[in-house]
A and B are shown apart, each in its own frame.
Chain A
Amino acid sequence: MTKNMIMGGLAVFVLAVLSPFWFNMVTTTQAAPEPELLGPAKEARKCVLDKYDMRANHMSLLDEWRDAVVRDADRIYVAANGKSFNMSLSTGENSCLGCHADKAKFCDSCHTYTSVDPYCWECHTNPKEIE
């Protein structure tokens, strides 16, 4: 085997392995939507966790909150940044949706983009939708 054959083979291999990236580069993909901060959240700019932690871990946080609220009757969350929140997804001013006024632009835009369909909203009614 010649050196050229080996190098050629390697080049083909690398191209093939990285094909998903090439594919994404040539086809146009929709950019990930930025969650929009609207309502009181726009001014507050201080959430329960910092931005990146929130993006990655909000579902675990909600899970923890649910146990705290139903099992231990603890309903106030004093965050690491010193602000306190009502541990509730949708009830009251100081809950997630109380602050993030627009569920469609805050929750749904990313959930739709990433094809996740959380069943939170089957029971936790968006206060804006009721009216």
Chain B
Amino acid sequence: MMEKSRRSFLKVAGIAAIGLGAAPAMNFAASDSQGSAAAVKAKNPDALHAERWGMVILVKKINDKIAKQITHACHTQHNVPDFTHEVDTQKFPDTRPVNHNQEIKWIWKEKFHYAFPDKEDEFLNEKFHHLPFMVLCNHCKNAPCVQACPTRATFSREDGIVIMDYHRCIGCRFCMAACPYGSRSFNFRDPQPFIAETDPDFPTRSKGVVEKCNLCAERLAKGEQPHCVEAAEGAIVVGDLEDPASEIRKLLRENYSIRRKQSLGTEPSVYYIV
């Protein structure tokens, strides 16, 4: 009699314990499935879409003033630090002295023979040496930086934009070694003291991450044109490379264009019309 009741007691206790243990898990599963079924993530209805984003730069329309404007618009609105900026020592008292060889750049003016070293020629038309070529990330179709990144912090978005998730960047700089265009910069130090005026519409970066042009993904998502396009007075056009009716495809059809280091097979999405 004694034996039997102990046995049945243990059975009941065991089943009860399973029930108690499973309840929170089941509640969690139930709330989770309900939550994700009800909440939806969506795009802004005004967002601009493309199958593959590309850019055309009309080099002849750019002069030094416009080049400055372009870099300024991009850098100030993306909170790109400028190491020539005088640090506010009250706000950032522990800032070490600046090494002026350091630079962080998203889009900048470059000389022809640096931008297109494979197109350098002994008897090249003199004018090419003086044209301001705006260089930036090419949002390559076969992006070597994406293949190099061990954490998938750098990746190719469905619409062709090569973009970074700064949260995931571990600062290994493999991507910088892989990029044949020097489009990427590394934050060797905290960038915040070197931002003259922080734009609240875009986050800054932190020490130890790489950064580069994001083709203004945050603006395209709101249906707006990239900052450089707005500042370029018609010299920069972005659009869908896969859409034969797009403005950039029309420009490419009607003009001779070049791309940077095309022979490497990275398939840059930035075209220069000279």
Contact = CB atoms under 8 A, between A and B. Distances in A.
Contacts of A90: 200, 203
B57 to A, nearest CB: 24
A75 B204 CA distance: 19
B43 A74 contact: yes
Interface in A85-127: 87, 90-92, 119, 122-125, 127
A101 B250 CA distance: 47
Contacts of A92: 201
Contact of A53 (B35, B44, B157, B221): B35
A11 interface: no
Interface stretch (A2-10, A14-22, A30-38, A63-71): A63-71
A131 B41 CA distance: 32
Interface in B148-188: 155, 157-159, 163-167
B42 A49 contact: no
A interface residue count range (under 10 / 10 to 19 / 20 to 34 / 35 or more):
20 to 34
Nearest to B220: A73
B41 A123 contact: no
A125 B203 contact: yes
B88 to A, nearest CB: 12
A66 B163 CA distance: 13
Interface string A40-84: 000000001100010000000000001110111111111110001
Contacts of A77: 39-42
A87 B41 contact: yes
B200 A125 contact: yes
B2 interface: no
A127 B205 contact: no
Given A90-B200, A130-B198, A74 B157 contact: no
A123 B205 contact: yes
B217 A71 contact: no
Interface in B16-61: 31, 34-35, 38-44, 47
A123 B35 CA distance: 29
B166 A73 contact: no
Contacts of A127: 200
Contacts of B40: 77-78
Given A71-B155, A122-B206, A127-B200, A76 B44 contact: yes
A72 B161 CA distance: 11
A70 B163 contact: yes
B114 interface: no
A25 to B, nearest CB: 27
B59 to A, nearest CB: 30
Contact of A75 (B35, B155, B197, B221): B221
B165 A66 contact: yes
List the 6 closest A-B pairs by CB distance, nearest first: A80-B38, A127-B200, A74-B41, A123-B203, A122-B206, A78-B40
Given A71-B165, A84-B42, A91-B203, 6 more contacts: A67-B165, A71-B155, A75-B221, A78-B40, A119-B206, A123-B204
